Amino acid sequence: SSNDNATSSAGGEQVAGNDGCDPGEQVIKFSHVTNSDKHPKGIAASLLQERINTEMDGRMCMEVYPSSMLYDDDKVLEAMLLGDVQMAAPSLSKFENYTTKLRIFNFPFLFENIDAVDRFQSSPAGQSLLNSMTDKGLKGLAFWHSGMKQLSADRPLLVPADAKGLKFRVENSDVLVAVFDQLGANPQKMSFSEVYGALQTGVVDGQENTWSNIYGQKFYEVQDGITNTDHGVLDYMVVTSSRWWDGLKDEDRRDLTRIVGEVSTERNNAVKELEQQARQSIADAGSEIRELTPEQRQQWVNALRPVWQRFTPDVGVETLKAAQAANQ
């Protein structure tokens, strides 16, 4: 169970950067699923830890648990509401049990690039999404970028028909299920830590993810190249429990807000470079990266457009308009 897992990991292994908190310091456990180095989320979490532990020394102390060692994304929010973990930054696809508003981020080919995503998240419509789960006890503190998603399988994918009949791993989002249904493929929800094994053994044939995740998890090793589709976005929300947050001393809440804000801006500004480095590392490892012609890309756009209509009631027309406006 997640609790056994939490006890053995937290109590047993030493995690880099967790030097031990001093008595009297309030501990913030930050749990995430990606690798800790060369990854947008891993680096941002480490920087957050470093700054809190320096600037709030004696008051608060953050411990970071990467690589799903404490919780998978499907368990971490429950654990947060129980008070077993205080912060996390799950992908925006992993809040399905708490709100349908965040489904906007899974609309295929909605955002042209990560700058458009950034503009939308900074807009009033985007910022209001940080508060879309307060009725469920979850408070959003910031958005963190990873990047645009790329597509791969155990064979080349250039036009939508290439994906037909193949099994694809998707994150826990009904929009993503609809995307692959629309292609005539077979989507399968699966937690991040299981994907490599599933691709390797043929439980699934393909996947979609950012360059940094494809590199960090070595998915390219068990796929026939990667197609540069940029067909969607994979970003994160830094979340905490409203109860824990509201119980903090004013001074601590103020300092945490400032540090989270500064770390978010700094790391979000660096993310494009990190994704490009991951892409380059995949190419250097000998994996083929395939580019789409404008005509091929348009085929994917056309094939997937019906998904928007189906999920617009969940996100609201105004939110969709604000997201589209962020492309200009």
- Binding stretches for ligand LMR (CB under 6 A): 33-34, 41, 91, 146, 171, 192, 209, 213, 234
Report yes or no: 259 and 55 within 8 Å, Cβ to Cβ: yes
Distance of CA 234 to the CA centre of its chain: 5
Bridge-partner residues for 170, per DSSP? 189
Bridge-partner residues for 294, per DSSP? none
- Report the length, in residues, of the chain: 328
Min dist. Cβ of residue 191 to ligand LMR (A): 7
Helix (H/G/I), strand (E/B), else coil: 144: strand
Min dist. Cβ of residue 99 to ligand LMR (A): 16
Residue closer to ligand LMR by CB (options 213, 319) is: 213
Residue closer to ligand LMR by CB (options 208, 255) is: 208
d(CA 102, CA 299): 26
Residue closer to ligand LMR by CB (options 182, 209) is: 209
d(CA 245, CA 253): 7
Min dist. Cβ of residue 139 to ligand LMR (A): 19
Min dist. Cβ of residue 41 to ligand LMR (A): 6
φ, ψ of residue 245 in degrees (nearest 5): -60, -45
Report yes or no: 180 and 170 within 8 Å, Cβ to Cβ: yes
Min dist. Cβ of residue 150 to ligand LMR (A): 12
Question: What is the separation, in whole angstroms, between the first and last Cα of the chain?
Answer: 47
Helix (H/G/I), strand (E/B), else coil: 244: helix
Nearest residue to ligand LMR on Cβ basis: 91
Residue closer to ligand LMR by CB (options 41, 51) is: 41
Q: What is the dihedral of CA 109, 114, 120, 126, to 10 degrees?
A: 100
Min dist. Cβ of residue 192 to ligand LMR (A): 4
Residue closest to 89 by CA, chosen among 117, 60, 114, 66: 66
Residue closer to ligand LMR by CB (options 46, 322) is: 46
Residue 174 DSSP code: H
Residue closer to ligand LMR by CB (options 35, 186) is: 35
Residue closer to ligand LMR by CB (options 234, 322) is: 234
Write the DSSP string, 25-60: PEEEEEE-SS-SSSSHHHHHHHHHHHHHHHHTTTTE
Residue closest to 214 by CA, chosen among 166, 278, 273, 144: 278
Min dist. Cβ of residue 165 to ligand LMR (A): 22
Min dist. Cβ of residue 54 to ligand LMR (A): 26
Residue closer to ligand LMR by CB (options 68, 86) is: 68
